[in-house]
Amino acid sequence: MSKEKVRTVNYRRCVAEAPGTHQGKNDFNLQSQIEAAAQKVKRPWIRAISADGTRSQFLAYLVAKQGCLCGTLVLYEKGRKVPLVDAEPDGTTWEGYVAPKDDKGKERKLQEQALYFAIRENHVAVIQTKELAIQELQDFLVWFIQSSAQLVPNWLFVLQNLPSKVAFEKLKNHPIKGIKIGKNAFSVEKVPTPESEGKKRKRYTQVVKPDPLIMALLRKLTENDDLLDDLESTTDPGSIMVEVDIRYKSRSVKSAQRVMQSIAATLGGQDGLNPEIQLDGKSKIKADELTIKDTVSVQCPDGNVSADDAMTRLSEWLIASIRSHKVLS
C-alpha cells in the first residue's frame, strides 16, 4: 500500500548574465539550455564530486511533464554496502554487510540522497535534501550545460531566491528602517574517526565546526582570537547565536524593494540563517517571507519517495503557482 508524505517545495528563479549585459537583460532560458545539453551529451549524466571519483551526482531522470522539464538528481558512492543486523538464537547480535542488488541479483549502487526538480523556462521548483540542496543542483546544471555540453560559454547563471508576494505587499506602505541577521556561530556534526576511514564499520566522533561567515564577522569586530577560542570550548557551542542589527532608512519604495531582493538573494532561504527586515510602524518582514516555499504530498511506497510522483507534484505546483501569480513572471 502506497502512503503519502509531506515534502517542502522551494522556489527559485534562474537569473543569467551574458558578457557585457546586466542580469535579467537577456533571453536566457534554463529549460531550453538543459534540453539542448541533454541532446548533446551522451548518457549517463554523471558528475564525480570526490577526488577519487567514488562519490558522484547522477541525473537519473529527465522527463517532460505539463510543459515543465522534470528531473531527479541522485547522490551515490561506489562500493557502499547495506548494513545488516539480527539477533542470534542465544540472544547475541549478528552484524554484516552486503552489496545492494536488484531482484535479479545484479549489483547496483546504493542511493544516498535524491533531489527532485521541475523547471518551466526560468522558474524552478525543488524538493531538496540535506546532502543535495539547491546549490548542488545549480553546480550540477552549470557543469552539465557549460562543461559537458559546452553551451553558453562565459555566461553566469544562478538559481536565485526571491521574496514572497507578502513581503512586497508589506513594503508598499512601510519603508525599511533596519535589518537584522541571526545565525548559530557553531554547528556540531558527526564525522568518521581517522582510524575507521576505509573500513566497513566506521566509528564516529562529534566535531564542532565554526560558521565561516560568523567567524569572519566576529574577527573583524573583536580582533580577539582568544574570545573565539573561549566560545568554541564552551559546554554547548551549538547553542551560541550571533545577531547583527543594521540601521538603514530606505528613501523610496523602489530602493526598499532592491534592498529586500538583495537580502533575499544572498541571505534568504538558507537553513539556520534568520534575516529579518524591520519596517516603520513596528511591522517586520520575517525570514519565511523572504523566500517562496510550500508543501506537497508525495507517494512513498515502502517508505521511499516515488520519483515519478514527486516530479508530477512539482510540475503541478509550479504551473499552478505561475498561473496564480504566486511566483512573478
Rounded CA-CA distance 128/10 in Å is: 8
User: 3-state secondary structure string, the chain?
Assistant: CEEEEEEEEEEEEEEEECCCCCCCCCCCCHHHHHHHHHHHCCCCCEEECCCCCCEEEEEEEEEEECCEEEEEEEEEECCCCEEEEEECCCCCEEEEEECCECCCCCECCCEEEEEEEEEECCEEEEECCCCCCHHHHHHHHHHHHHHHCCCCCCCEEEEECCCCHHHHHHHCCCCEEEEEEEEECEEEEEEECHHHCCCCCCCEEEEEEECHHHHHHHHHHHCCHHHHHHHHCCCCHHHCEEEEEEECCCCCHHHHHHHHHHHHHHHCCCCCECCEEEEHHHCEECHHHCCCEEEEEEEEECCCCCHHHHHHHHHHHHHHHHHCCCCCC
Q: Using alpha carbons, select from 325, 244, 240 the residue that is nearest to residue 277.
A: 244
Q: How many CB atoms lie within 10 A of CB 136?
A: 19
Rounded CA-CA distance 294/317 in Å is: 9
Q: Using alpha carbons, select from 267, 8, 59 the residue that is nearest to residue 163.
A: 267
Reported as a single tens digit per residue, the pLDDT across 203-240 is 777 777 777 767 776 666 666 666 666 666 666 666 66
Q: How far is CA 179 from CA 174, 246, 284, in A?
A: 14, 5, 10
Predicted TM-score (pTM) of the model is: 0.81
How does residue 63 score in pLDDT terms, banded at 50, 70 and 90? very high
* Phi, psi values for residue 106, rounded to 5°: -80, 130
Reported as a single tens digit per residue, the pLDDT across 77-135 is 888 888 899 999 999 999 988 889 888 989 898 888 999 999 999 999 999 998 899 99
| Mean pLDDT, all residues of the chain | 86
Locus of grid cell 547496483 = 108
Q: Percentage of the chain with pLDDT > 90?
A: 44
Reported as a single tens digit per residue, the pLDDT across 150-209 is 999 989 999 999 999 999 888 887 889 888 887 777 777 777 776 666 565 667 777 777
Q: How many CB atoms lie within 10 A of CB 247?
A: 8
Reported as a single tens digit per residue, the pLDDT across 136-155 is 999 999 999 999 999 999 89
pLDDT of residue 306 exceeding 90, the answer is yes
pLDDT of residue 22 exceeding 60, the answer is no
- Residues whose CB falls within 8 Å of the CB of residue 303, separated by 6 or more in sequence, listed in order: 3
